[in-house]
Amino acid sequence: MKKILGENVLVEVIKKKAKTKSGIALPVRAKSNQGIVKGVGPEAERRTRLKIGDRVIFKKYKEINEIKVKSKPHYFLEVDDILAKY
């Protein structure tokens, strides 16, 4: 991966499970809003102190730039789209 610019963050999406523990099937269209940070732009790093490997929760209903890296979905997010780090 090349350098991430500005206030952008690259996040690998954590897939939601298709079924709950009790066996209830979840709809496929339910997108996950959790991920693992894979890259951080310099301004985003200064503002949020995010680093590679952090787990984050981001805004769910927003137009997101999605790319595939090694066949896994990744999102380019703006730093303001990140809601929490856990």
18 against 9, higher pLDDT: 9
What's the pLDDT tens digit per position in 33-84?
Answer: 899 999 999 999 899 889 999 999 998 776 778 888 888 889 999 999 999 9
pTM, two decimals, is 0.78
| Sequence-ordered list of residues with C-beta below 8 angstroms from that of 77, at least 6 positions apart, any chain | 8, 9, 10, 11, 58, 64
Q: What does the pLDDT read at residue 66?
A: 84
Q: What does the pLDDT read at residue 1?
A: 58
17 band by pLDDT with thresholds 50, 70 and 90? low
86 band by pLDDT with thresholds 50, 70 and 90? confident
Residue ranges covered by each domain of the chain = 8-17+25-85
Homologous superfamily (CATH) of 8-17+25-85 is: GroES chaperonin (2.30.33.40)
Q: What is the dihedral of CA 45, 5, 11, 53, to 10 degrees?
A: -40
| Sequence-ordered list of residues with C-beta below 8 angstroms from that of 71, at least 6 positions apart, any chain | none
Q: Is residue 12 within a helix (H) or strand (E), and if so which, with residue range?
A: strand 8-13
